[in-house]
Amino acid sequence: MGLLYSCLCPKKKDTKPRTVTSGPKNYSYECKYREEHGRLPASSYPDNSVRTAKYTWYDFLPRSFVGQFNRLGNQYFLLQTIIMVIGEYSTLYPSPLESWSMILVLLFVVGLSMIFEARDDYYRWKKDRATNQTLGVKIGCAAAGRAIQHQQTWAEFQVGDLVFVRNGEAFPADLVLLTSSELDGNAYVETANIDGETNLKLRLAAKSLSDRLQGGSLGDEAMALDNAVNTDIQIMADPPSESIDAFTGTITCKDEEIPVSLSQFMHRGSVLRNTTWVIGMAIYTGPQTKIILNSSDPPLKRSTIDRIVDKILIIVIFAQCCLVTVADIGFLIWSNANINENSDLGYYSTWYLVPRGENANSFTFPNGVAYWLSYFILFNNFVPINMYVTMDLCNLLQGIFINNDLTIYCEETDTAASCRASNLCQELGMIEYIFSDKTGTLTQNVMKLKKIAIANKRYGDSKHPGFDSNALATDLGQGRNKEIEDFLIVLAVAHTVVTDKDGVYQAESPDEAALVDGAAQVGYKFTTRRGDLLQVNIPWESDPRQYVVEAINSFSSKRKRMSCVVKCPNGKHYLMVKGADNVIFDRCDEKSTDRKGYNDHLEIFAKEGLRTLLVGHREIKPDEYKEWKAKYDKASTSVGGNRKELLEDAAEEIERDIEILGVTAIEDKLQENVADTISNLADAGIKLWVLTGDKVETAVNIGYSCKVLVPGMKVIKMTETKPEQINLRLENLVRQLRGIQSGSRPDSKESKREISIVHLKSMGLVIHGKTLEHIMSHDIRRAMLLEFGMSCKVVIACRVSPLQKSQMVEMVRKGIKPEPITLAIGDGANDVTMIQKAHVGVGISGKEGQQAANVSDFSISRFKYLQRLLLVHGRWNYRRICKVITYVFYKNFCLTLTLLYFSFTTGYSGTSLYDSWVYTSFNIHTMLPICAIGCLDQDVRSETVELFPSLYMTGRLNLDLNPRVILQYILLAIVHSLIVVFWPYFSYFGLDQVDLGGLYVFGTLVFSCLVFTVQYRVMLITITWTSITAIVLAISFLMYFLFLLVYGVWYDLQWDFYWVPYQMLGSAIFWVVLFGVPATALYFDFVLHWVSREFFPTIMDFAVEADYLMNKAKKGQLMKQLAKEVKAMTGPQEKEVDTARIKDVQLSQYLGVENKNKGDLGFAFSHPGETPAQMHRSMTTPQLLDEEKTKKKPGKSSQHQLGDPKSNQQKDVKISMSHQTFKMQAWQDAKLSANRPLDETTCCGRFLQQKLARLQKPLTPRVTMIVLAVVGCFFLLIGGLVIMGSHAAAYQMVQYDGSTSNYKSLGYNVEFQDCELKAARNQSYRRCNITFKLNQDMSSPIFVHYGLSEFYQNYQSYQKDHYYKQLDGSTTGSDSNYCLYYTKDENTEIIPCGLQANSMFNDTFNLISPSGLEMKEDGIAWRVDRDLRFNNPSGYPEICDDDKYQCLFEKYPGVISRENGHKDEHFMVWMRTAARNTFMKKYGRIETDLKKGDEIVFQVPNICACVRIYVCMCIFMSMSI
């Protein structure tokens, strides 16, 4: 259970001391109440149920939904939705997008995040239910005062209940022990469920009460139960508190007051062991139990990546507002020039946009404000709506991979790694400082007494596996040496150790067990504890000695000592004490203490890396004992919150004038591979600060053992205790440091220098806790310490308290700018504050319990696993999430920029190039592939990362997510968006010929090109192609097309978009454009990629190539040689490494025979025909490395770091063989444990172990260029042919009105034939003949088009101003939400309404020559328009005879016939809005082949009002292409 009950459990405050009673009266009342009401009476205290779930079934939706909008991105899109709704359903301003498209996507994204949250909360709810439904036994009372046992759920227990618990069962609530089956009513409790400590704790019942309940019959369960229900018991206790190790109270029974403390307290969730049964009284229940109150909210940690994303979002929103402002200014300039009343003509030049007599501003807000909001809506995707949910999904899977990593699973303890904060997975790849505890973290916390010192003699042998007691036993004789005997008696008596039924020592601290066991080895064996009575066997004495422990002054991190007041067999009272040397020396008897001699012993032991304690005693006179015991008893029975302080005061009074008997030295061995792990972390550029409670000498020795300190390193020790000395020392150190860094010479008057330029690159600082205490209390001293500490490779702080540990972390976090990413790792309760203070907290499941692991963000079982957690998982996750973030912003920049470019052609009116639902679906279509990268991509294999720790610099220096990278992606988005928009745009003439020129068709074509371009970009940045990656990408493409096909036939959802995808997908040109545009766009990517890796390779590029070569060669010698080269050329860098050029190294000498053909490798360093030096120039010289390393020759550097390659190769063979042996053994012999992750033998296991088979070799630059050249040339050729065919070989164009420069300026081959009659205000009808003299053969079908230039059908208010229910015949009425203009003419209702229908091009083209040649005017509209979309209203055409309605044929006589009405195909073609302001539309078709030289004459009655404006009109003949 432990902290199973999390911070989210409701905690009820209760500050009043409580009084709880039990006895016959209580049971009588309960029975009577049950009979009358059928239930127990309600308690004034909370029930015993717990709830760790954050939500309930009824408040999940509202609370979780509201909680999602704590994120900036979600707030932004909520604001966008509100603005869109107002714009769509009011006349305040125009909304270019439909609000429901945004609402549904926002709900989808928020809903996905809610699902993730619901999943986590569901697991918590299941645990709650299982806990609350656990059965326990309540003692009740039946007739005749007999006890009965009621089985009930834990949730039903109440304060004051008598609880019966059997061996192996957990306690359902916080209980006070009354009695047990054991002598004196004592019990053994295991608290592993709470703090992870497997050693048993002894709980001591109040002896008089226990004897009363047992009734003189030891172990009689029935008698104890009967006595319990028939005894009036009252407990007065402190109010509920969070303090796990504090409890005070008083039991009143038969007028006797008995003090109770933590010794009688049994925590909820702890388990009864080695005791048949116990009876306890529930004192705290449910949310008031100590374990629940201790489940405090962990600090909310946001990752650095999250904070960076928030900053980017703010910048992006600001940039969006700038673009919106630019577009809005463009609109105001354009509208001022085009939508105004012409003084000469007396009407608006763009009359079809704003009819005569209408206000140019049809919105309530001023134009500038209205269109600013419109553009703000249009550019909403500048901020990616799926950013957070994509990151959440990637983080979730990254956390799962950490939990299931078999390489960081401990078989011995059946403990897997645990990720409790998946949002910090990428933070593991950015660590700069590690703050580590020593004991239990770097060491095993397996304590063994190794040596002791008594008087002037030391005993023990370092080579002995345990304590070599021969010499000590010889000197002891048979108790004749009193000094030695007194020393051993203190070890055997002054402790809280208990023995279980097997005689095994169970101690709260491993140190205590080691000391008691050491005394037992010499013959002073502690055997049993019965209440206050201890028995110690002495080999030469027949009967055991009995000692009575009258009082125990417990150990605490503040006191750093423990002592016992003991009554010895001779009746004398002694104080027996052991503790840290500094506190014992302060309380010793100076006259009888050889402090210098003991200091020598302490220093010698500390240099050997042993943990030391001083042992002492003193005799207490009877009068002193009597007086002190009274004070102690009063303190121990006090009720209130100050009992602990009173007991400490009593202990302080008695702990004086101590006679020191000797020194103990305990060995705590280093954990496996600690030294190698620390060395690799240092190679990765991570600085390690060790914070420990050990002596300076012990910490320094351990530092050398685990390679925190290395030979040749300058170690600066600071042990001063006076402020003035500390100031002086710090000032000197900082002054010398600054002088070295600035290059100045030392002052001749300055005292001897402690450091020099030689030391600067390898320097360590060791500082004492007392020194640190003075430094932390002063800002200037703290700043100086930080400045000097930053220049050290390692800092070791000794004798520090938990508070000082957290202060050190905070000092680094707040004192260094920019703030470095910190990690704290520890295994004990004293490490909790440090773990919570750091950016990332890692807990080790150790012998000091689970306190650290329970509050940590990640937990592991061994320190060595930290290397893989950071260098592999952290680095992978950092690079993955950075790819996700940069890609998501890149693709949304591309999307928004295409709209910006398109707005230039729409009169800056804010028209969307894309349909609303298509536009808002963009993030969904492009989400899955990048998620696959964010979860599975590996730039290099884990083995390569562990060989080259310096590759960790990627995240440590934040090379993948900085302003330069963001700028690169912005520039890339600009280039790609330009290509995606303008290649189809300049091919528009050809696209328009095949019915791909409509706004929705053209927009969907561009959108498809954009989707393919950004998806291709995903393929390019994917390094690890697996089956899942390929499947996800294929699914993404299929989902996109499926969406188009389904949405394209959803008639009621979007009438204008109906059948658009089918028309588009049925065109061959679409597929050429679809593949050609992305290929052209990505051509620049490949070129940049090739140039970068060919001429400016980075260390990361080199790593990818080396990883491939090593995997291909599969030769240990190659791997080792490459490792040496990389270690020689790279190292911990404090400055960003932009590029890595390589020194001249003969790599070919160790590539091996398999790689003799360098041309097959295809990398930048393997070009055919080049010398080996030229081939490998890109491998061995990183720029911006420190000067000293770059001056070294790679070979020497390699040998210096790695030694002889042969020895390394032999070592590799051994490692490989042992690995294979272990793997075979694991499968053949070992049984899978409950927590063991799946291995690679199954598909699911390979996925969880991130060992999926790779489907491709790395994309080398040379292969990239070859593929690009072929594919690019192919698509450019095809695209060029299409454009040439549409502009030259397949059409002829004659312009008959307007400026002669418009079409020619656009590059069209156009002939101009003047109609002779110029525009006049009073002229509404003209006629002219247009003659085509064919300059080529034209095969049927030949389409006749009319063309318009500078006609803004794509203007936002124009293209949206129609009511589809009028067009499809569903109704005759108009709707102001759809039609702003032409709804009524005085009292006549116009059918259909709107700008588009009432500004139709109504010139006609009559083929008059040659005779017999026929032009058909049917079959020019889409089939779906003819069959479904356009219909006449019910009662047509008779309703048109009513003066109430004006129909289409009345508006356009001679063009629209009365019979056809809405089903006239010219009208259908016109209503398909053009994407460009220069467009053509089909008018008819000729089914006869025409020959070169033929003359075709069309007569044009020039009726269209376009003649009066700046629009150019033409007639156009084309063949089908």
- The residues annotated as belonging to the active site are 437
Hey, which residues does 19 pair with through a beta bridge? Answer: 236
- Name residue 44's amino acid: S
How many other CB atoms sit within 10 Å of the CB of residue 661? 25
How far is residue 884's CA from residue 902's CA, in Å, rounded to a whole number? 27
CB 996 within 8 A of CB 1005: yes
* Of 857, 711, 678, 718, the residue nearest 800 (C-alpha): 718
Residue 717 CB burial class (10 angstroms; 0-12, 13-18, ≥19) = middle
At residue 1230, the 3 state secondary structure works out as coil
* DSSP notation for 304-320: HHHHHHHHHHHHHHHHH
* One-character DSSP codes across 1114-1170: --HHHHHHHHHHHHHH----SS----B------THHHH-GGG--GGGT-STT--TTS
Evaluate whether 285 touches 45 at the Cβ level (below 8 Å). Answer: yes
Distances (CA, A) of 664 to 477, 511, 516, 519, 656: 20, 10, 11, 11, 20
Long-range contacts of 248-251 (CB under 8 A, 24+ apart): 248/638, 248/639, 248/640, 248/643, 249/176, 249/283, 249/639, 250/637, 250/639, 251/176, 251/206, 251/209
Tell me the sheet residues that pair with 1332: 1496
Give the SS3 label for residue 627. helix
Task: Identify residue 558 by its one-letter amino acid code.
Answer: K
Helices (H), 1258-1300: 1261-1284
- Asked whether the beta carbons of 439 and 885 are under 8 A apart, the reply is no
What is d(CA 374, CA 371) in angstroms, rounded to the nearest whole number?
A: 5
In a 3-state reduction of DSSP, which class is residue 785?
A: helix
Query: How far is the C-alpha of 3 from the C-alpha of 920, rounded, in Å?
Result: 43
**Residue from 1140, 1309, 1124, 1108 nearest 1208 by CA:** 1124
Cis peptide before 94 (omega within 30 of 0): no
What's the rounded Cα separation, in Å, for the pair 1216 and 1196? 27
Instruction: Indicate the burial class of 43 (C-beta count within 10 angstroms; 0-12, 13-18, 19 or more).
Output: middle
Tell me the three state secondary structure of residue 577.
strand
Radius of gyration of the chain (CA): 43
Distance (Å, whole) CA 398 – CA 954: 18
Q: What are phi and psi of 1239, to 5 degrees?
A: -100, -170
d(CA 1281, CA 1273): 12
Strands 561-567 and 187-190 turn out to be unpaired
Spatial strand order in the sheet of 418-419: 418-419, 858-860, 840-844, 822-826, 433-436, 687-691, 794-798, 763-768, 714-718
Distance separating alpha carbons of residues 1312 and 1339, to the nearest angstrom:
24
Residue among 1223, 680, 1125, 1162 nearest 945 (CA): 680
CB contact set of 191 (below 8 Å; sequence gap of 6+) = 197, 201, 267, 270, 849
